[in-house]
Structure 1
Amino acid sequence: MFEIFEGLVAKFSSWVWDWPLLILLIGGGIFFLIYSRFTPFLYFKHAIDILRGKYDDQNTPGQLSHFQALSSAIAATVGMGNISGVAVAIATGGPGAVFWMWISALIGMATKFYTCSLAVMYRSKDEKGNVLSGPMYVITEGLGASWKPLAVLFSLAGLIGTLPAFTANQLTQTLIDVWDWEEEYKWHIGFVLAGLASVVILGGIQRIGVVASRLVPFMVGLYFVTVITILVIQFDVVPDMFMMILTDAFSGRAAAGGVLGYLIKTGIKRGAFSNEAGIGTAPMMHGTAKTNEPIREGLVAMIGPAIDTLFVCTLTALAILSTGVWQHSDKNGISLTLSAFNEVLPYGIGDGVVVIMVLVFALSTLFSYSYYGTNCLGFLTKPKYGKYYNYIYLGSIVIAAVVKIDFAINLIDSAFALMAIPTVLSGLILAPRVNKSAKMYFGKLKK
């Protein structure tokens, strides 16, 4: 019975992620780029100043500072998608898939500017006065009650899309690979992960924000140092890797069947999984920022894809490509990344570094994703009932630890696709209101 379900999920994922959805994500992002006249990109330094706390005001509504909001959003996106997802993209699409991940990130920066600005413009409050945000509130508050079915679609898909299927699965596989444990240990690992995650998750959004703001700088910094070490050792081949990415991006020779369309879809899909631009998760976190200026948080959110995909994913890709393991290995996901690290680093160091990074990346993702699920359940029922999603979430960590990687990928991809439709559509319809607010905000900055 479960095999039949796996097959259905795989077919649905393949169907829903075909050209119509990719056109919506990429076409929508290109529209946002052109419609904004690239203006947000001209204020990147201002976005950094906001992130540094220059404009923080503790008296404004919201639960998290700008830095905590971005850290929490990045904690969810800079995770297994950056270590394992990049490996999946290269294994299935070839080096050229990385180029299309870059394109996805650049376009995604514009998408996040609009969707996260809207998340602050149209947010609600629960019975305790806590801010509630996300595409479902953008739809109901910004478009009106007649559009509520679209908000319900997002929330229903969000209950599945925010499950830790991919993250818990790949973290478990890492520990199995490194310590050569038997497969039955996956259940034990799942229970331990659920216990660790519960300590932070059950503490609510404030605890998630505090933990994420401390973990994210550490994990990105450590990963940077490690991969740079690999690239210094392999320095002579790094320029060739960039050429390989660029030339293969338009040939598709390394993709399945040598089909360019498949290569583009692979890169865009894995890019969307990595930075989640247009999916709708980040607006739920950025919408909780302490600010009265929607554009301010939109600028901060724009930094996310730059850190996540242009920086961290590129580091992973170069590590895998420079070692050549992708050409002579049938491994996929985290196992391929692990092979790349062990190919260059002294014996034992590669395993140790990957285990540490995977633990930090995966746990940070597990912490943030739980909040997204509680937000979706709270919208479908009442905000006070949203917290019960945490118990479903913790139980799913155990189950996710033992399922096949293909099923985990297809399940999350399917849900992400359904979440993207309401997110991008509402963003496109309400984009003029963001432009109006942006014109006023940037006008004040020039005075």
Structure 2
Amino acid sequence: MEFVSEIISAINGVVWGPLMLVLILGVGLFLTFGLKLMPVLKLGTGFKLLWGGRIPDKDGSKEGEISPFNALMTSLSATIGTGNIAGVATAIFLGGPGALFWMWCTALVGMATKFAEAVLAVRFREVDENGNHTGGPMYYIKNGLSSKWTWLGTAFALFGMVAGFGIGNTVQANSVANAIDTNFGVEPWITGLVMMVLVGLVLMGGIKRIGDVAGKLVPMMATFYIACGVAVLIVNAAEIPAAFGLIFESAFTGTAAQGGFAGAAVWMAIRFGVARGVFSNEAGLGSAPIAHAAAQTKNPVAQGLVAMLGTFIDTLIVCSITGLAIIVTGEWTSGETGAALTSAAFGAALPYGNYIVAVSLTIFAFTTILGWSVYGEKCVQYLFGVKAILPFRVVWILSVPVGAAGSLEFIWLLADTMNALMAIPNLIAIALLSPVVFKLTKEYFASNGAVPECMEQKKPQE
């Protein structure tokens, strides 16, 4: 295992080097300015479309299996997870308070990236042999680019299939098992078995059942966690101005060692802020558009406006609350990391704060496992056909208890590495297909939201 860890560490150092950070931020900036800051300026429009898309279409006039609202909730179920609780804490532990600033930067440009992903996913989605809509990076690469790029779609599907078992399954189960063990004294293997049964009950119902569960659990749990986080900030309101000052200062000067904090250079703040930001909101990863491809809509841009809200909600709201809570309470110098650090911050300000974090983490991670099962399933379907869906679901369910009892350090390392490997082909494809995104967006706003022409869904090839 040590040899394998060394190999993955070496790969991680390459894929998360300066080139990756430039690629993520560069593509995001290119799209942001290419769209003339539209993702930021049209946030209100996105929320209006989200509210209007709460109810599933009953008369079949719109293609897709789930409502636009449930498509976003399925996407958010996969993004609001350990990244918001353990990931933010890890970023601050390794990169200092300045890492939070770089997470914000990643989110601001990531809104444009997430918008473009969803636009392309709906524009180039297909209808499979079971009559279900399927899409994502592998499909917009295959259907949007020339045949010489087909290998890029295959590469994404391979990385996505493997990555799902890291970021979307074992990491989530592992974090929950550790949090439950620490706070309630339940053995990790017991937690793993219980989660396995619950995941299995939902997963066998397919994306419609997953969308229904996510549509109910995600808003409820996110509201509860945000309310508790705001309470922590209110208790420590006097420290908020100093916290913002520390965040901005350390983002550009680094952070000196103090207490249990080992110190961090500027590069570490950037590296872990961007990496954990991408881990949390998944902008550029290519995962979220797989869920949005199943939305009941005829207009790619309308779904893109809904999709970009995922990055806003995930990072600029939920992650910010977690990071600020850790900083204003002073717990960031305690030497704790991961979910334990967030628990310490909430526990320092609220009665039973550590239990609030444990319960929140459990629900978030559970929904993340559900959301990522959709992503992994679609990657497997692209590679091996619909016949591979059932075997994948069985392996996915059985992986939950394995992750719960595994090594946290190795699992985080593997997930972090797979994130980057997924992002590379997706970001290349988005950059190459950006003219399509710009054209559809211009047409949408010029026609006040009318459906673009040539939106016939592609049938599967024989």
> Which amino acid is the alignment partner of residue 30 of structure 1?
L
Give the C-alpha shift of residue 197 in structure 1.
0.9
Give the C-alpha shift of residue 257 in structure 1.
5.9
Q: Residues 55 and 275 of structure 1: is their aligned pair in 2 closer, same or farther, counting only changes over 3 Å? A: closer
Tell me which of 345, 356, 367 is aligned to 2:350: 345
Tell me which of 312, 315, 320 is aligned to 1:309: 315
Kindly indicate whether the alpha-carbon contact (under 8 Å) linking 2:195 and 2:400 is maintained by their aligned counterparts in 1. Answer: yes
Q: Residues 59 and 446 of structure 1: is their aligned pair in 2 closer, same or farther, counting only changes over 3 Å? A: closer
Give the C-alpha shift of residue 24 in structure 1.
0.8
Describe the SS at the equivalent of 2:267: helix
Give the C-alpha shift of residue 398 in structure 1.
1.4
1:214 aligns with 2:216: yes
> Which amino acid is the alignment partner of residue 282 of structure 2?
E
Residue 174 of structure 1 corresponds to 179
Q: Residues 35 and 359 of structure 1: is their aligned pair in 2 closer, same or farther, counting only changes over 3 Å? A: same
Describe the SS at the equivalent of 1:32: helix
RMSD: 1.6
Q: Distance in 1 between matches of 2:96 and 2:355?
A: 27
1:14 aligns with 2:13: yes
Residue 377 of structure 2 corresponds to 374
Show the 5 A alignment for 1:185-204. Answer: 185-204=187-206
Describe the SS at the equivalent of 2:331: coil
Residue 290 of structure 1 corresponds to 296
Residue 439 of structure 1 corresponds to 442
Q: Distance in 2 between matches of 1:41 and 1:315?
A: 20
Kindly indicate whether the alpha-carbon contact (under 8 Å) linking 2:96 and 2:264 is maintained by their aligned counterparts in 1. Answer: no
Provide the identity percentage: 38
Describe the SS at the equivalent of 2:308: helix
Which has the larger displacement, 397-406 or 117-126?
Answer: 397-406
Which has the larger displacement, 247-256 or 392-401?
Answer: 247-256
Q: Residues 55 and 337 of structure 1: is their aligned pair in 2 closer, same or farther, counting only changes over 3 Å? A: closer
Q: Distance in 2 between matches of 1:404 and 1:44?
A: 40
**Deviation string for 1:328-366 (max 9, x for gaps)?**
22x2111111111222222xx123212221121111111
Residue 170 of structure 2 corresponds to 165
Show the 5 A alignment for 1:59-70. Answer: 59-70=61-72
Tell me which of 211, 217, 229 is aligned to 2:231: 229
1:278 aligns with 2:281: no
Give the C-alpha shift of residue 40 in structure 1.
3.6
Give the C-alpha shift of residue 54 in structure 1.
5.8
| Equivalenced residues, count | 440
Q: Distance in 2 between matches of 1:315 and 1:266?
A: 18
1:263 aligns with 2:272: no
Which has the larger displacement, 149-158 or 389-398?
Answer: 389-398
Give the C-alpha shift of residue 435 in structure 1.
1.1
Give the C-alpha shift of residue 388 in structure 1.
2.0
Kindly indicate whether the alpha-carbon contact (under 8 Å) linking 1:160 and 1:412 is maintained by their aligned counterparts in 2. Answer: no
TM-score where L is the length of structure 1: 0.95
**Deviation string for 1:1-55 (max 9, x for gaps)?**
x222122222211221111111111111011011111134332222112111269
Tell me which of 86, 92, 95 is aligned to 1:93: 95
Residue 456 of structure 2 corresponds to none
Q: Distance in 1 between matches of 2:264 and 2:235?
A: 31
**Deviation string for 1:264-305 (max 9, x for gaps)?**
011000000010000000010011111111111111111111
Kindly indicate whether the alpha-carbon contact (under 8 Å) linking 2:53 and 2:67 is maintained by their aligned counterparts in 1. Answer: no
Q: Distance in 2 between matches of 1:294 and 1:237?
A: 44
Structure 1 segments (4+ residues) deviating >6 Å: none
Residue 427 of structure 2 corresponds to 424
Q: Distance in 1 between matches of 2:126 and 2:291?
A: 13
Kindly indicate whether the alpha-carbon contact (under 8 Å) linking 2:39 and 2:111 is maintained by their aligned counterparts in 1. Answer: no
Q: Distance in 1 between matches of 2:404 and 2:430?
A: 35
1:48 aligns with 2:47: yes
Give the C-alpha shift of residue 370 in structure 1.
0.6
Q: Residues 446 and 337 of structure 1: is their aligned pair in 2 closer, same or farther, counting only changes over 3 Å? A: closer
Describe the SS at the equivalent of 1:326: helix
**Deviation string for 1:247-276 (max 9, x for gaps)?**
111111258664211210110000000100
1:147 aligns with 2:149: yes
Give the C-alpha shift of residue 65 in structure 1.
0.8
Tell me which of 308, 332, 336 is aligned to 2:337: 332
Q: What are structure 2's unaligned runs of at least 5 residues? A: 451-462
Q: Distance in 1 between matches of 2:127 and 2:153?
A: 16
Residue 319 of structure 1 corresponds to 325
Q: Residues 408 and 54 of structure 1: is their aligned pair in 2 closer, same or farther, counting only changes over 3 Å? A: closer
Q: Residues 218 and 104 of structure 1: is their aligned pair in 2 closer, same or farther, counting only changes over 3 Å? A: same
Give the C-alpha shift of residue 87 in structure 1.
0.4
Describe the SS at the equivalent of 2:77: helix
Give the C-alpha shift of residue 386 in structure 1.
2.4
Q: Distance in 2 between matches of 1:364 and 1:247?
A: 36
Which has the larger displacement, 53-62 or 283-292?
Answer: 53-62
Give the C-alpha shift of residue 188 in structure 1.
2.2
> Which amino acid is the alignment partner of residue 93 of structure 1?
G
Q: Distance in 1 between matches of 2:256 and 2:122?
A: 43
1:398 aligns with 2:409: no
**Deviation string for 1:77-107 (max 9, x for gaps)?**
0111001100000110000000000000001
Q: What are structure 1's unaligned runs of at least 5 residues? A: none
Kindly indicate whether the alpha-carbon contact (under 8 Å) linking 2:96 and 2:263 is maintained by their aligned counterparts in 1. Answer: no
Describe the SS at the equivalent of 2:414: helix
Give the C-alpha shift of residue 446 in structure 1.
8.2
Q: Residues 394 and 113 of structure 1: is their aligned pair in 2 closer, same or farther, counting only changes over 3 Å? A: same
TM-score where L is the length of structure 2: 0.92
Give the C-alpha shift of residue 148 in structure 1.
1.4
